[in-house]
Structure 1
C-alpha cells in the first residue's frame, strides 16, 4: 500500500507565498507613503483631486449651461460688490475747472455754464486708522446753599479704573481671533499709532475681554448643544510648558438655526479624550455629524445622539489609494454621484425640505446600493493593511452612519463645515504658534466662538464686541441670548447671509 509521505516543499511554498504577500503589502504601503510625501514636499499642501463642485461643473450638460452659470456667478459677485460699496464711508471731492482753462476751446468765449452734474469717477483710497487719547471731563455743579453738589456721570468702562475703552478691546480681540495677528505685532502697530503699548498689556486686555464675555460664549455653546443637528471636529494646538510645548486641542461645535443663521462654539482641552464632547453634548438628543474618531462615541450611545458619517473623509481615503490601486476611481465616481444629487437639490431650492428627502431616496439610495455591492466585491481582492484595503474597511465600518442622510433631509453628506470653522484657528496656530497655559486656551476658545459667529452671520466683530462689552455686565442673565451675534444682528433688522460658511460641496 502506498504510504502518505510528508512533503516539506509544500510547506516551504506556503511560507514563501505568505512572505511574498507580506512584502507586497509593505511595498504598496511604502509606495503610498512616498506618493503622499512627494505631494507634500513638491506639490500643493491640499489634495490635488479637484473639488466636488469643480468636477460637477466640468460635467455640465453643454457649453451654454456653463456660460449661463458663469454669467450668473459674475452677476452675483457684482451685486455683492455694489452692496459692499454702499456700506463704505463716502466723501465727495469736487474738482473745479482751473481759471486758465475757463474758456471755450472752439470760440474762445469765457461765458461757460455748468453742464449737468459733471463727470463722476469712483476711487477707493486708504485713510490710515488712528488711536486717540480721550480726556473725559465731568462737569460739577454746586448749589448756592453750599451743600448740594451734582456731578455728571462718568464714562462707561469695561474694567473699573481701566485706561482702555471698549473699542480698543474689541480691536485687540478681532485682530487676534479674526486676523490671526500675534499680540507682539499688534503692540508694534499700536505704538506706531502713538499709544505706549507692550505685549504683556495687550495680553492682559485680551484675557480681560474674555472674562467679561464668558457668559456669552458659555451660553452660545449651550444653545448649540440644544440643537437637533450639530457638527463637530477638533484640531491640535500647542501649549507652552517647561522647556517645551505639549499638545492641546481646540474643539468646534456648530449648528444652523431654522432662520439660516450659523452658530459656532469652541472649547479648549489639554487632551483628545471623550471628556470634552461629553461636557458639551452630554445628555442631549439629535444628530452629530463627525468623522470616525472614537472620542465622540461617548455621546453617540443608544441613549445619546445619532452619529452621522462624513463622505468627504471616505472620498479622501480612496483618493489616497489611487496611486497604487486605480480601481479606487470607481468609488470616487459613486461618491461624486451622491454629491450630484445634492447639487440638484441646491439648484432647485429644495435643501432641507421633504422634496429633498424624496430626491435622495429616488437617486442617492440606488447609488449607495451599488457602492455597497462594489465594496463587498473588492474587499477580498486587496490586503487589509494596504491603502485601498484600509479605505474599503473604513467605508464598510462607517456604513450605517454614512447612509443616514437618505432618510433625513436635515443631515449633510459631510463634515466640511466644521473643518472650515477650524481654518481660522489653524492660521492662528501658524502665526502665534502656541497658547501660554490652559486658562489662556479657554479664553481664546470663548473669543473665537463670538468672532466666528459674527463672521458667519455677516456681523462686524469690532462693532459687535464694542457694544456688548459694555452691555453684558448689566444685561439680565435670563435674556443673555439677546446679545449673541445672530440675535444682536436680528434686532437691527438685517437678514442673515445666504451662505455664511464654505459650502459642503
Structure 2
C-alpha cells in the first residue's frame, strides 16, 4: 500500500511539473487563436478539492476553439477559473471582436453588447424538442465557402423561414409554461443569432465542435487546487490541439519535452502542436 501511495504521489508531481513546463506554450497558443474571426466558446463545471472542508467545490473549465470552417490549423485553449462569471470570458478574449458561437448562457451577454457578434447553436435549440419527443413520444465535406454560402441561401434560408412561421403558429396553440411552450419561446428568442450563419459560408451552424470537453472531464474526479487546475488546462490545451491537427499527442509531447529546455523564446512557435509548426 505504501508503495502504491508513493507511486501515485510521484506521478502527480510529474504531471504538475509537466503542466508548468507546458504553460508558456498554452499561453502562446491563445494569441493566434484570438486572431481568428470566429470562435466557439463553452464553459463546463469541474470539481476542485476544497482544503479543510473535506469535500469539493465547483470550478469551471472555459474552452475556446477555432472554427473548423476557417482556413489554418485547428486550435483549442482551455482556461481554468474558479467561477462562471462572464468576466472570465471577457478577460480571456480582451479586445477580440468577432463572431462567437455559444449557448444561451447569460455570462456572454456583456460581450455581445460590446461589439462581439453572437452566433447561436441550432443543436441546442433542437435538443429541447428532441428531449421532449424522447420523453413523451411526441454531403458537405470539402465544400468551398462560396458553394456552402450558395447552398445555405438556397436550402437553409427557406427552411428557417418556414420554421419561424411554424414556431409562431404553434406558440399560440400550446400552454406558455409547458415544456413545448418553453422550447418554442427559447427558439424564437434566439432566432437572430440562429440564422446569422446563412449569410456566410464560413460561420458554423452549431457548437458541437466543442462537446468533447464536457465528455472528457468524466475521466477524472477533481482538481486538487486552482493551481493544479490551471496546469491541467495547459496540458489539455496542447494535447487536444495536437489531436485536432492529426498529430499523435504522445509523440508530439515526447518531442517537445526533449526540445523545450533549449528552445529560444523566438522559436517557441516551432513547438506548438499545429500541422505546420511555423511562426504565427
Q: Same-fold call, TM > 0.5?
A: yes
Counterparts of 1:477 and 1:280, CA distance in 2? 22
Aligned counterpart for 1:251 among listed residues 51, 58, 62:
62
Q: Are residue 283 (structure 1) and residue 95 (structure 2) matched?
A: yes
**Is 1:254–1:418's contact at 8 Å kept on the other side of the alignment?**
yes
**Is 1:307–1:401's contact at 8 Å kept on the other side of the alignment?**
yes
**Is 2:60–2:82's contact at 8 Å kept on the other side of the alignment?**
yes
Q: Are residue 465 (structure 1) and residue 253 (structure 2) matched?
A: yes
Q: Are residue 424 (structure 1) and residue 210 (structure 2) matched?
A: no
Gapped runs of 5+ residues in structure 2? none
Equivalence for 2:232: 444
Gapped runs of 5+ residues in structure 1? 1-183, 192-196, 327-342, 493-505
Q: 1:356 Cα deviation (Å)?
A: 1.0
TM, length-normalised to structure 1: 0.51
Equivalence for 1:350: 143
TM, length-normalised to structure 2: 0.90
Larger Rg: 1
Deviations 1:283-326 (A, max 9, x none): 102111111111112322242x2111101111110112225583
Equivalence for 2:14: 205
**Is 2:60–2:80's contact at 8 Å kept on the other side of the alignment?**
yes
Counterparts of 1:236 and 1:367, CA distance in 2? 35
Equivalence for 1:225: 34
Counterparts of 1:260 and 1:437, CA distance in 2? 35
Counterparts of 2:19 and 2:114, CA distance in 1? 37
**Is 1:292–1:309's contact at 8 Å kept on the other side of the alignment?**
yes
Counterparts of 1:284 and 1:463, CA distance in 2? 33
Counterparts of 1:262 and 1:483, CA distance in 2? 15
Equivalence for 2:24: 215
Q: Are residue 380 (structure 1) and residue 172 (structure 2) matched?
A: yes
After the TM superposition, list the runs of 4 or more consecutive aligned residues in structure 1 that deviate by more than 4 angstroms.
256-260
Please provide the CA RMSD for this pair. Answer: 2.2
Query: Residue 435 of structure 1 aligns to a residue in which SS?
Result: coil
**Is 2:86–2:107's contact at 8 Å kept on the other side of the alignment?**
yes
Aligned counterpart for 1:240 among listed residues 44, 49, 72:
49
Distance 1:260-1:423 versus aligned 2 partners, 3 A rule: farther
Q: What is the count of residue pairs matched by the alignment?
A: 273
Q: 1:256 Cα deviation (Å)?
A: 4.4
Counterparts of 1:473 and 1:384, CA distance in 2? 62
**Is 1:249–1:272's contact at 8 Å kept on the other side of the alignment?**
yes
Equivalence for 2:183: 391
Deviations 1:386-425 (A, max 9, x none): 1101100110111000000100111111100111243222
Counterparts of 1:254 and 1:379, CA distance in 2? 35
Distance 1:209-1:380 versus aligned 2 partners, 3 A rule: same
Q: 1:491 Cα deviation (Å)?
A: 5.3
**Is 2:19–2:234's contact at 8 Å kept on the other side of the alignment?**
yes
> Whose RCO is larger (CA < 8 A, sep 6+)?
2
**Is 2:48–2:225's contact at 8 Å kept on the other side of the alignment?**
yes
Counterparts of 1:362 and 1:295, CA distance in 2? 34
**Is 1:277–1:298's contact at 8 Å kept on the other side of the alignment?**
no
Q: Which has the higher strand share?
A: 2
**Is 1:221–1:265's contact at 8 Å kept on the other side of the alignment?**
yes
